[in-house]
Amino acid sequence: MKQLAGLALILGVLGILNFVLPQALNPYFMRVLMLCGISVVLAVSLNLINGFTGQFSIGHAGFMAVGAYGSAMFSLHVGAGWVRTLESAGAPEAAAQGLALLVALMVGSVLAAIAGYLVGLPSLRLRGDYLAIVTLGFGEIIRVIITNVDAVGAARGLPGIPGWANFFWVGLAVVAVVVVSRRLANSTHGRALFAIRDDEIAAEALGVDTTRYKVLAFVISSFFAGLAGGLFAHYNAYLHPNSFTFLKSIEVIAMVVLGGLGSISGSILAAILLTVLPEALRSAQELRMVIYSLMLIVLMITRPGGLLGNREISLDFLRRRRSAGRA
Amino acid sequence: MSEFLQQLVNGVTWGSVYALIALGYTMVYGILRLINFAHGDVYMLGAFFGFFAARFLNAARDPSPFKALLVLLSAMVACGIIGIVMERAAYKPVRRSSRLAALITAIGVSLLLENGGILLFGPDPKFFPQIIPARNIALGMGVTISNQQILILSVSLVLMFALRFIVLHTRTGKAMQAVSYNPMAAALMGISVDRIVTFTFMLGSMLAAAAGVLVALQNPKIEPLMGIMPGLKAFVAAVLGGIGNIPGAVLGGLVMGIAEVLVVGYVSPTYRDAIAFVLLIVILLVRPAGILGRNVAEKV
């Protein structure tokens, strides 16, 4: 009951914000805000592999690409038809588009999750840096395939994707990924992931099925990466293979490490910081990326454990004070 | 058949360039367990330093083998210095922190070199002067090799043998092996680990610079982002051969170069960038530690 009420509250708040924000903010800020949301989904999902499980994936852009292209192709060929049918049947525009978007996002995410399963399997045999390189290779292979397949626009890019994603959906995805991460962290499964991160051999000796959990982490993480990709596709309305290069994966890793490995709130914070920073530095023009990279180096030297380490910022202290007041 | 042999010649040439870059990756990895993402950008800097040296020497208008050698050496020295500065300023402060922090620092250095390059050299491609005019030499059976390819092959070979000599037969090289085997024990034996790490970075950067100049001689278009892809693939080559293993890096580079040229020749040039990674995944599934790497059991 309490959870349903919480969900209703979140949906309500997002619905209202979705209505208010575009009027309150200019389109540029709105765009930065949306990109922040997508980055947060990416960073928090990668944190599941790199932060929780201690595995090292540098192919997150590949999963994102699978989700983006998967959902975009679905919307172009199936979803758009649904929206036309529903609208002619008298359904409201937002509902028809929302339904089509939801299905498209799920298609993209599930495809990405399958890709995650396939990539997670080699972790049966590979450790550490070797696993990292396989994920890197996977990301690059996906990109090269996209660049060569004509049906998805090849090197020209894929234009004309319906722009259904709005603040409501991005916000919902952020809430979903954060809730799933937090619940996972506090569950038996999450403990197993932490155990693998802290000492794989000890975890195995204590009966943790390390392979299964590593693959699980890959599947959940790539599911959400696919979700972020789908949102990106339906927000940007245009996809190009160059959006999913090795550099994109690196950007997401930078967010996770900068935020502090394993810290959900750290990932959120760093995702927002690293998305806003290049925008804020726009006035510095050519110096922009130089400053960005210098800040990355300096931050890593001064705070090697990330901004938050593995701590969390939470609202627990509010709750505690409230219950203390009640007592 | 002659076409295949021709591809092989091109593949070996291209592979020896990968091998030169891969050596730097593998040496740094062997000693620090760090993937030095900025290594590909040092290769780019090598090409640019060569470009400026060639312009300074006026080598375009009056080319001579002596000047070519001077261009090569000055690029190597300049990049060696860059390697030392890079290690001292960025990597040394994070050496005691987690490996991931070091990795992100490496990514930061890589972005810095790329964007600094764009800022200093400009984003558009520059044309490397033709120090050595191309001339084809027939090898028989319809196979030709250009004098530039011969140069690439011979310079790479000389450098690889020099490296082999340094690592196996000098005191510093033996210290490098010791640090790579166990840095703590090496330090206890009186080896200055810091000095060895810096030396390794210098050596790797010099090899990358040589690769940069050699490639620029053949494909004269140089630009600040040219190091990303070759860097990535050379790294893959190092992993392919067994990372941390010096002969492995050379073997990996050659395999990679040949595979790439064969794909371009027989399949499609657009799949060129994918073959490296497909090859990598296939080989790692069969031999998880690379071709020459040994799978060391983890002790508890």
Residue % of chain A over a pLDDT of 70: 93
Contact B284 A126 (CB under 8 A): yes
What are the strands, taking DSSP E only, across B50-140?
Answer: 126-127, 136-140
Measure B224 CA to nearest chain A CA, in Å.
13
Residue A235 in this model has a pLDDT that exceeds 80? yes
Mean pLDDT, residues A244-260 taken together: 86
Contact A138 B281 (CB under 8 A): yes
Beta bridge partners of B145: B137
Extract the tokens encoding A304: 């090697």
Chain A environment of B118 (Cβ under 8 Å): 286, 289
Measure A228 CA to nearest chain B CA, in Å.
23
Q: Does A253 touch chain B (CB under 8 A)?
A: yes
The pLDDT value recorded for residue B175 is: 93
Measure A78 CA to nearest chain B CA, in Å.
30
Residue A326: pLDDT band (50, 70, 90) is: very low
Q: What is the separation, in whole angstroms, between the first and last Cα of chain A?
A: 24
Q: Does A150 touch chain B (CB under 8 A)?
A: no
Residue A258: pLDDT band (50, 70, 90) is: confident
A interface mutation test: which of B37, B110, B112 has the most A CBs within 10 A?
A: B112
Q: What is the pLDDT of residues A132-184, one digit of tens each?
A: 888 888 888 899 889 888 888 778 888 888 888 888 899 999 999 999 999 99
Beta bridge partners of B140: B143
Q: Are B209 and B78 in contact (CB under 8 A)?
A: yes
- Domain membership flag for residue B277: no
Closest by Cβ to B97, choosing from A137, A147, A304? A304
Closest by Cβ to A134, choosing from B105, B119, B281? B281
Q: Does A289 touch chain B (CB under 8 A)?
A: yes
User: B103 CB contacts (<8 Å, ≥6 apart)?
Assistant: A253, A257, B34, B35, B37
The pLDDT value recorded for residue A310 is: 67
User: A158 CB contacts (<8 Å, ≥6 apart)?
Assistant: A69, A72, A73, A76, A152, A238, A239, A240
- What's the full length of chain B, in residues? 300
Contact A130 B284 (CB under 8 A): yes
Q: What is the separation, in whole angstroms, between the first and last Cα of chain B?
A: 53
Mean pLDDT, residues A247-271 taken together: 87
Secondary structure of A94-155 in HEC code, one letter for each residue: HHHHHHHHHHHHHHHHHHHHHHHHHHHHHHHCCCHHHHHHHHHHHHHHHHHHHHHCHHHCHH
- Domain membership flag for residue B184: yes
Q: Which residue of A has its CA nearest to B286?
A: A125
Phi, psi (deg, nearest 5) at residue A141: -65, -45
- Domain membership flag for residue B213: yes
Give the HSE-up count for residue B182: Cα atoms under 13 Å, Cβ half-sphere.
Answer: 6
Q: Are B18 and B256 in contact (CB under 8 A)?
A: yes
List Cα–Cα distances, B277 to A125, B29, B236, B274, in angstroms. Answer: 17, 20, 7, 5
The pLDDT value recorded for residue B297 is: 61
Q: Which residue of B has its CA nearest to A144?
A: B274
Domain count along chain B: 1
Contact A286 B118 (CB under 8 A): yes
Residue A327: pLDDT band (50, 70, 90) is: very low
CA-to-CA distance for A30 and B63, rounded, in angstroms? 57
**What is the reported pTM?**
0.84
List Cα–Cα distances, A45 to A138, A161, A223, B143, B215, in angstroms. Answer: 18, 24, 8, 53, 40
Q: What is the predicted ipTM?
A: 0.81
Residues 232-271 on B with a CB inside 8 Å of A are 232, 235-236, 239, 243, 268, 270-271
Residues 86-115 on B with a CB inside 8 Å of A are 90, 93-94, 97-98, 100-105, 107-112, 114-115
Extract the tokens encoding A245: 């290069």
- Domain membership flag for residue B270: no
Q: In which residue are the tokens 């023009």 written?
A: A285
- Domain membership flag for residue B117: yes
- Domain membership flag for residue B109: yes
CA-to-CA distance for B187 and B174, rounded, in angstroms? 13
Q: Are A49 and A138 in contact (CB under 8 A)?
A: no
Residue A44 in this model has a pLDDT that exceeds 90? yes
Q: Which residue of B has its CA nearest to A50?
A: B100
Q: Does A137 touch chain B (CB under 8 A)?
A: yes
Residues of chain B where predicted confidence (pLDDT) is lower than 50: none
Closest by Cβ to B274, choosing from A136, A144, A296? A144
At CA A79, angle to CA A73 and CA A83, rounded to 5? 150
Beta bridge partners of B222: B126
Q: Are B158 and B164 in contact (CB under 8 A)?
A: no
- Alpha carbon A132 to chain centroid distance? 18
Nearest to B76 by CA among B208, B197, B201, B216: B208
Contact A286 B108 (CB under 8 A): no
DSSP track, B135-148: -EEEEETTEEEEHH
What 3-state class would DSSP assign to B98? coil
Beta carbon pairs, A and B, within 8 Å: 125
Q: Does A301 touch chain B (CB under 8 A)?
A: yes
Residue A81 in this model has a pLDDT that exceeds 90? no
Contact B104 A125 (CB under 8 A): no
CA-to-CA distance for B259 and B279, rounded, in angstroms? 8
Beta bridge partners of B146: B136
Chain A environment of B28 (Cβ under 8 Å): none
Residue A222: pLDDT band (50, 70, 90) is: very high
Chain A environment of B270 (Cβ under 8 Å): 144, 147-148
CA-to-CA distance for B174 and A251, rounded, in angstroms? 38
Q: Are B236 and B276 in contact (CB under 8 A)?
A: yes
CA-to-CA distance for A286 and A270, rounded, in angstroms? 23
Mean pLDDT, residues A49-74 taken together: 90
Q: Does B274 touch chain A (CB under 8 A)?
A: yes
Q: In which residue are the tokens 């930061």 written?
A: B108
Domain with B211, as residue range(s), is 19-227
Q: Which residue of A has its CA nearest to B37?
A: A250
Beta bridge partners of A239: A158
Chain B environment of A294 (Cβ under 8 Å): 108, 112
Residue A106 in this model has a pLDDT that exceeds 50? yes
For residue B102, the surrounding DSSP H or E stretch is helix B99-121
Extract the tokens encoding A300: 């890593």
Mean pLDDT, residues A77-84 taken together: 85
CA-to-CA distance for A322 and A185, rounded, in angstroms? 25
